[in-house]
Amino acid sequence: MARHIVATVAEIPPGSNKVVSVKGRDIAVFNVNGTYYAMLNKCPHMGARLCHGAIVGLVEGSQPGEFAYTRSGEILRCPWHGWEFDMRTGQSRVDPAGIWVKQYPACVEKGSAIVEGPYKAETFPVHVEEEYVVLDA
C-alpha cells in the first residue's frame, strides 16, 4: 500500500466526495459528518459508480410502521439499484447472510456454505494529515 494525497480538507466538505484514480482504480473519498471514508467507486452488484449515490441515514424497524432513523449521512445508496452500504465498513445492509440477521432459518440444511456474495463494497483506509486527506491504497 502507498500513501496518496487525495485533496485538501477544504476540497471535500461534509456530504461531498471526490474520486481519485489510484493504480488504475477509481476510489471515491467521502466526507461523512467530518470523517473521511474511501470506497472503491464501483458497486459490487453491477458496477455503478458509487460517487453518484444518495447519502442517507439508516432506517430500521422491528414492527410494521416503525421507522427508526439514525446515522444520518452514513449510508450510501447505490445510484442504480439502491443497495445500501454502510460507509464506515462497506458492508451492505441487504446481505442475506449479514451479521445483523437475527437467526438463520431452521430450514436451511446444516453445513451450507455461507457465500461471500457481492454484498460488500471495497473500502480503503483514509485519514487526515494537517490539511490533507490521505488515502492508503
- 112 contacts another protein (rule: CB under 8 A): yes
Nine cell digits for residue 60: 430500521
| Residue 28 β-bridge partners | 19, 39
Segment interacting with another protein (CB under 8 A) among 2-10, 17-25, 40-48, 123-131: 40-48
- 1 contacts another protein (rule: CB under 8 A): no
Which residue among 82, 125, 128, 129 contacts another protein (CB under 8 A)? Answer: 82
- 16 contacts another protein (rule: CB under 8 A): no
Residue recorded with cell 473519498: 29
- 80 contacts another protein (rule: CB under 8 A): yes
Least Å distance, CB 130 to another protein, is: 33
* Vertex 47: Cα angle to 53 and 93 (nearest 5): 60
- 15 contacts another protein (rule: CB under 8 A): no
Segment interacting with another protein (CB under 8 A) among 16-24, 33-41, 97-105, 121-129: 97-105
Segment interacting with another protein (CB under 8 A) among 7-15, 16-24, 62-70, 128-136: 62-70
Phi/psi at 11 (5° precision)? -75, -20
Distance, CA of 137 to chain centre:
16
* Of 2 and 67, CB closest to another protein: 67
Q: Which residues have C-beta within 8 Å of that of residue 10, sequence separation ≥ 6?
A: 131
Residue recorded with cell 447472510: 97
**Amino acid making up residue 7:** A
- 14 contacts another protein (rule: CB under 8 A): no
